[in-house]
Amino acid sequence: MKVSRWFLAAMAALALNTQFAAPANAGLFKMDFGSSENIDEDGNPIEVQGWDVIETFVFDPDTFQVKLTDQAKSGDNDVVLDFFDMKNPPEGSEGLGMTHNNPTHEREEGLKYDGVDIPWQVKDDYLYRNPDHAGTEILFRFSNIDPGKYNVTLFEGRTTDTNGQFGKVWVDNDKNGSGEPELENTGTFASDQPTGEPATVTVDIKAGQYLWYAHMEDCCGGVSGMIIRPLGSAAKPGDFDGNGTLDAADIDALSAEVRKGTNTVKYDVTADNKVNQDDRTKWVAELKKTYFGDANLDGVFNTSDFVSVFQIGEYEDAAAGNSNWSEGDWNGDADFNSSDFVAAFQDGGFEKGPRAAVAAVPEPTSAVLFGLGLLFGIRRRK
């Protein structure tokens, strides 16, 4: 039997779309840990819309369970979150549950983590383990999440947590979580800034698997919220917030990771087990295909970029660490000064138009170099 070409092409396209599309029922889950700040500006209690609010709780007798709401209304309506104490806690430090707290009150408006709006009522309080003995854990187990890739984002609103806040995120076939990592894998999601510093871990959940999070108690601070967001397609390299676009938020996040020096795998775009200036260079030149100095990331470095950054007015100002890419910080040190012009002009893209596409490999081939040289030679002769 003959099969028409159009049918084969249609089936191939369907297979490709099925491979990269998010599952039809991939849900969005948003958890607000603690309710002491769920008030309006006048101090009146309010109901936070679009979040599952989890208040102070005690184990009964060994667990506490919450049925989660699929905020995307995609049909993943059977997801359950179970809390457990750590296995074999030290004597005298057995977990009783979790308690909320809110020692700082930033009330920062307009925050967005991993593309999700964050009300200050969600960010400004948190849950911590009771008792809060350093070195202990509370385990979170998520059951029945539909298969697919997800971003798991954690954040803490407290700005006085000098210890940092760390956790472990993993996927496990075992309902008892036997595959728990030995070390934290989130990086810190504590910050001394009112805007916070969320941490995102990407996971791939198969049918029947459990998602786990271990809250690592350190006797200071806790976890304010968690977002589990489905990824609609294969992750784009360098798109750290998963919004489908390589933008200023991504290069700013990468620059912050370089400054921290923690070598978080998520930001290692060169795949050399390091997060450094080489990753920034690859992001700019190969992934975004632009130049250092392109403040508005429109693909060209020209005078409009200078106009933009000088209108903002942060050049060699007195405030340390207050600049980002769109404000003139092109070398990634969080300040805008003459060293940023050095970085931009050394890249050689000023008034040269769009950067020629190059393959995303560690070193360009001789053919690419020849092609670029020929291109620039022709442009100079015109």
pLDDT for 330-362, tens place per residue? 999 999 999 999 999 999 999 999 987 544 433
CA dist 99 and 357 (Å) reads: 53
Nearest to 288 by CA among 342, 234, 251, 235: 251
β-sheet bridge partners, residue 260: none
With tokens 């916070």, the residue in question is 196
The answer to whether the beta carbons of residues 36 and 79 sit under 8 Å apart is no
* Range in 131-145, 201-215, 340-354, 368-382 the model is least confident about: 368-382
Helix (H) or strand (E) holding 347: helix 338-347
DSSP, collapsed to helix, strand or coil, labels residue 160 as coil
- At 337 the pLDDT is 95
Domain ranges (residues) in the chain: 24-230, 248-381
CA dist 71 → 25, 27, 30, 79, 269 (Å): 12, 7, 7, 12, 32
Whose CA is closest to 208, among 176, 172, 169? 172
Q: What pLDDT sits at residue 156?
A: 96
CA distance 255 to 244: 19
Question: How many Å apart are CA 120 and CA 194, to the nearest integer?
Answer: 10
For range 150-162, the mean pLDDT = 94
- Contact 87/93 with Cβ under 8 angstroms? no
Q: Rounded to 5 degrees, what angle do the CA atoms 87, 97, 186 make?
A: 65
Mean pLDDT, residues 55-67 taken together: 96
User: Tokens 């360009």 identify what position?
Assistant: 364
* Residue partners of 285: CB distance under 8 A and separation at least 6: 291, 347, 355, 358
Residue with tokens 């990331």: 297
The closest of 113, 186, 193, 199 to 161, measured between CA atoms, is: 193
State mean pLDDT over 79-103.
94
Condensed to tens digits (0 to 9), the pLDDT of residues 173-196 reads 999 999 999 999 999 999 999 999
- DSSP category for residue 83: E
157 with 106: CB under 8 angstroms?
A: yes
Tokens representing residue 201 in the block: 């871990």
Report whether the peptide linkage leading into residue 61 is cis, meaning its omega lies within 30 degrees of zero: yes
d(CA 286, CA 353) in angstroms, rounded, equals: 15
Residues 6 or more apart whose Cβ sits within 8 Å of residue 118: 111, 112, 155, 196, 225
Q: What is the DSSP letter of 265?
A: G
Which pLDDT score is estimated for 239?
A: 86
Q: Is pTM beyond 0.75 here? A: no
Interval 96-146: pLDDT, tens: 999 999 878 889 999 999 989 999 999 999 999 999 999 999 999 999 999
Q: What is the residue-averaged pLDDT of the chain?
A: 86
